[in-house]
Structure 1
Amino acid sequence: MQSESFTETPTQADSSHRARYQAARAAQPDRRKKRERVFAVVTIVLIIAAWMIGFNRENGDMEPYLHQAMPEAERLEKTRSGSYAAYSSEQVIGYIVVGEGNGYGGPMNLAVATDLQGRIVGLAVVRHRETPSWFKRVQENGFFSGLIGKSFRDPFTLGRDIDAVSGATYTSRGIADAALRGSRLVAEKNLNFSVPAQAPPKIVFGLPEIVLLALFALGFIGHRKSFRYKKKLRWFCMLTGMFPLGFIYTNPLTISLINKMLLGFWPDWHTHLYWYLLLGGILFTLTASGKNPYCEWFCPFGAAQECMGKIGGAKPYAISRYRSLLKWLQRGLALAAILVALMYRNPGISSYEIFGTLFDLKGNIPQFFLLALVILASLFVHRPWCRYLCPLKPLEAFIRFLKTWLKNIWPNKNTVTVTVTPKNN
């Protein structure tokens, strides 16, 4: 008996291979969706864990800072008001208290030492959340020494009796407020002096806020499908964002601001209205329409890259071969920046953005080197920083993903399945 063998014909082989390929292609979206959901859950868990670690490690020993503020003190004794009485030869020579002010990165704590007349005689930084390079600029400009000798009766007004450090106005104001509050707390609680009434904070609303609101309005109009002059309006918005918000005011959206909000360091809206308008506008447009006009229409650094791209003829997808790898690298950098900031309770400590390096010409050698690479790449690649390095793009994608995921989950929980059983005749 001869054995029979079956050999697959070329047509059948091609058909089988095509079917397996189509099945694999059909399964890709499900695998990608599952991977994205796992990444989202892991991200949320890591953020919560980092926040708790940072919160637990923040409380440290205060005594070294107190002695730094008043080195001549031989002994410190805590008072009922929470301040510390400083003794020398068993005589009270002054008081030390920790004052708090709101800087750019969040609450700032200073050990404020005053003499028995209520004059500041020493300051020591207990904790700050500013970007290290910006805080160093304030220290090197002698801002702290300018507060020594100030009385609790002085107004501590920036630009009048105190010179703010150029480019670090928020940090300067936070230090001055902490010193003022500390000195007045000692004067009222320990020295029994009459403290001047503090004027209510004034709402800071000027040209940056007006320009920002106008750009959001133009972005909303330009995103409408029926608008005919979208390209021209977009370039007008980009140039407007680059010059007033970038080169003049240097107010771009950075990961430091996001970290500040995650840490719960909500600044006073009277003096930081710009940031509330910026974040509120992005979140509203992103959740309501799925559009983010800031990044694509008037981000100052994005506009600078597009201007360079016009000169060099940049292409949109010049690095498409490594697109997936670069996307996960971008996500990893953004997540690492957030986790480090939460663990160390400092919003700006892990910021790697180079906006200030371009618009304020301030930064270290690595930042200027990275800026040069990005500007050079912008000649050939469309917005290389935005596409492959900017930490805000992954955050935007994360919000979009969570919105879609929740939208898909919610109907499933409220869907009632009705089964109809046919009657037997």
Structure 2
Amino acid sequence: MTLDPVNTDRYQVRRLVVHLARLAVFVSIIGLIHLQYASSSARVTAIADLSVDQVVSLFPAAASLAGVASDDGRMAVSDADGKSLGYVVQTSPESDHIIGFSGPTNVLIGFDDLDRVVGISILSSEDTRDHLLEVERNEQFMSSLDGKSRDEIGRVGVVDAVSGATLTSLAIQESIIHRLGGEVGSLRFPTPLSLDDVKVLFPNADHIEPNAVHAAVWFVNSGGDRIGQVLRTSPAADNVVGYQGPTDTLIGLDRDGAVVGIAIGKSYDNEPYVGYVREDSYFRSTFDEMKLQQLAEADLYEMRVEGVSGATMTSMAVADGVVEAAKKHREKVELEASRPKRRSGFQISVHDIGTMIVIVAAIVIGSTSLRANKRVRIVFQLMLIVYLGLIAGNLVSQAMIAGWAKHGVPLQMAPGLTMLVIAAFACPLFSKRNIYCSHLCPHGAVQQLIKGRIRYQVKLGHSVSKLLMLLPGLLLLWCLVVTMAALPFSLVDIEPFDAYVFRIAGWATIAVFVVGIIASLFVPMAYCRFGCPTGRLLDYLRFNARSDRWTVRDWVALGYLGLAIWLSTGH
């Protein structure tokens, strides 16, 4: 029989159009979830809204908090007598882009008055509940930064992750390091430099910009060319006091790093003493032509630096502040050069490599005659259960999909798991094979191994089967509602996958796991057929011979999209 080329072409076009429509529905729902989260202002608690109860775990004697947070996000903590105990900062929103298994975590960090960590606590988290609880129960992890200064936190890099909650604990570490990685702004001189401030040292300057790495340094430009830079003595010298208070001084450096002069900025010292220093050009030329390294090592006594007549204490405090700022800036530059590199770019762990090897093996076995080899199939299924499930804990779940839809894909934190998800969704989209469900899911492998192992098998009637087949779709609907409406329910409870990381699994997850396995002993692949929302989603996206037909499932998917649109409007 000869096929009609025209009808064949129409079939192929129709199948492609319908398949792309299904994909568009799925992508639209994911996009709506992301936009819903991005537009929500309720997910981040402003530090100004903190209560005393939330900081008592870090400061047991805490009785009050400052009414307003400082410019750099600090909230001062005091005891009942008004004595300062230290301050707290939170990682959100600066570190919200760092996600763990399924979302970011807002961490409260307490510091004493010497800028050393007294402890950390979890304020809120979008990550999976069981992973977060495992981290909070790990005292070694939660106290790993105690007693460390900000600079020491930057030097220690990433400490040991919590077993069973690796992505969550790594993300928390990264969030803290990122939040504390920048320099602390000055509380005494919080106002940024203006062009007029800099023109005292560089009259031709027409543009200034802050150094992204060192907050006390500003670049100076003229006509599009960089002509020098300015180093502020604040906050490095905020504790260098003259007659009555500190002075913010600007150190001008040319393109070769040599001092072109100093300028006196705002001061807490007394007038007219500050004015005398501003007007004394001889004193202000004290450090001219010195390189920053020389300035950092300067000995004012050996240099025979004399203060300004009538303002000795103020002027000598200015000179001390210049040397102190140069010294601290040099230390920071050296620290930056010696600091171990934190996670950046695409970094791969042993488990990531192992996961990728398993993915390649699954695609090869699923696409060739090897899938019919019983011995190969059993060995590979055991490897999936032991390695991908129990050791790596890499399984695709609704909790993970919802979390990634809200916050983005954590490619840097979890490249192996990311590749697994790509394989799970790409194979059904571009082929007729659902590789994940048949050859990559550890839970599916368990059911395949136990299939038919007992004599007594339950044969379900057609009506019962059709009724049970509705359950995965209803669970997908529940996942959509919980995610879009931000309901206080954990999606890990409706699937068995966290049970493979048994150290963190909750009772609901374990119950789903046990019931699903017992059911699969009597009804082949019972959980995959009648209980798995993730498998149903992947099967819906699978490109198959009947992809040219718009079915009831497609109308249901459109209904889900309509519901997502309705929920996104705030209903």
Separation in 2 of the partners of 1:402 and 1:98?
50
- Cα 1:157/1:304, change in 2 over 3 Å: farther
Range with greater deviation from structure 2 (321-330 or 395-404): 395-404
2:102 to 100, 105, 109: 105
- 1:255 Cα deviation (Å)? 1.5
1:79 matched to 2:77: no
Deviations 1:194-219 (A, max 9, x none): 65436141654344333433333333
Separation in 1 of the partners of 2:83 and 2:421?
53
For residue 480 of structure 2, what is the aligned residue in structure 1? 338
For residue 169 of structure 2, what is the aligned residue in structure 1? 172
- Cα 1:225/1:148, change in 2 over 3 Å: closer
- Cα 1:209/1:335, change in 2 over 3 Å: same
- Cα 1:169/1:226, change in 2 over 3 Å: closer
1:386 to 528, 552, 570: 528
SS in 1 for 2:120: strand
Separation in 2 of the partners of 1:399 and 1:151?
51
Separation in 1 of the partners of 2:179 and 2:518?
49
For residue 414 of structure 2, what is the aligned residue in structure 1? 272
**For the pair shown, which has the larger CA radius of gyration, 1 or 2?**
2
- Cα 1:263/1:371, change in 2 over 3 Å: same
Conserved 8 A contact 1:106-1:129: yes
For residue 96 of structure 1, what is the aligned residue in structure 2? 88
For residue 399 of structure 2, what is the aligned residue in structure 1? 256
- 1:265 Cα deviation (Å)? 3.2
Deviations 1:277-333 (A, max 9, x none): 111222222222131212101311111122222422586964643222222221111
Separation in 1 of the partners of 2:489 and 2:101?
9
SS in 2 for 1:96: strand
Separation in 1 of the partners of 2:181 and 2:487?
27
Range with greater deviation from structure 2 (192-201 or 144-153): 192-201
Separation in 1 of the partners of 2:136 and 2:86?
25
For residue 48 of structure 2, what is the aligned residue in structure 1? 63
Conserved 8 A contact 1:208-1:244: no
1:48 matched to 2:32: yes
* Counterpart amino acid of residue 137 in structure 2: E
Separation in 1 of the partners of 2:436 and 2:33?
31
SS in 2 for 1:382: coil
- 1:375 Cα deviation (Å)? 2.0
For residue 115 of structure 2, what is the aligned residue in structure 1? 118
Q: Which sections of structure 2, spanning at least 5 residues, go unmatched? A: 1-17, 188-234, 237-327, 551-571
For residue 213 of structure 1, what is the aligned residue in structure 2? 356
Larger RCO (CA within 8 A; separation ≥ 6): 1
* Counterpart amino acid of residue 68 in structure 2: E
Deviations 1:350-381 (A, max 9, x none): 54222232452543444333332222222121
For residue 149 of structure 2, what is the aligned residue in structure 1? 151
For residue 285 of structure 2, what is the aligned residue in structure 1? none
- Cα 1:220/1:357, change in 2 over 3 Å: closer
1:324 to 438, 459, 466: 466
- Cα 1:209/1:46, change in 2 over 3 Å: closer
Separation in 2 of the partners of 1:128 and 1:303?
32
Separation in 1 of the partners of 2:456 and 2:532?
18
Deviations 1:143-198 (A, max 9, x none): 3244332222234799x995543211222222223333334446466664765436
For residue 541 of structure 2, what is the aligned residue in structure 1? 399
- Cα 1:318/1:214, change in 2 over 3 Å: farther
- 1:106 Cα deviation (Å)? 1.5
Separation in 1 of the partners of 2:89 and 2:100?
18
Separation in 2 of the partners of 1:385 and 1:258?
19
For residue 305 of structure 1, what is the aligned residue in structure 2? 447
Separation in 2 of the partners of 1:405 and 1:354?
30
Conserved 8 A contact 1:255-1:351: no
Separation in 2 of the partners of 1:313 and 1:361?
33
- Cα 1:164/1:249, change in 2 over 3 Å: same
1:222 to 365, 369, 374: 365
1:245 to 388, 403, 413: 388
- Cα 1:313/1:185, change in 2 over 3 Å: farther
Conserved 8 A contact 2:428-2:543: no
For residue 415 of structure 1, what is the aligned residue in structure 2? none
* Counterpart amino acid of residue 472 in structure 2: Q
- 1:220 Cα deviation (Å)? 3.1
Conserved 8 A contact 1:330-1:391: yes
Deviations 1:261-286 (A, max 9, x none): 2113322x233111221112222222
The percent of aligned pairs where both chains have the same amino acid is 21
Q: Which sections of structure 1, spanning at least 5 residues, go unmatched? A: 1-33, 409-425
- 1:238 Cα deviation (Å)? 1.8
Separation in 2 of the partners of 1:111 and 1:186?
18
- 1:66 Cα deviation (Å)? 6.3
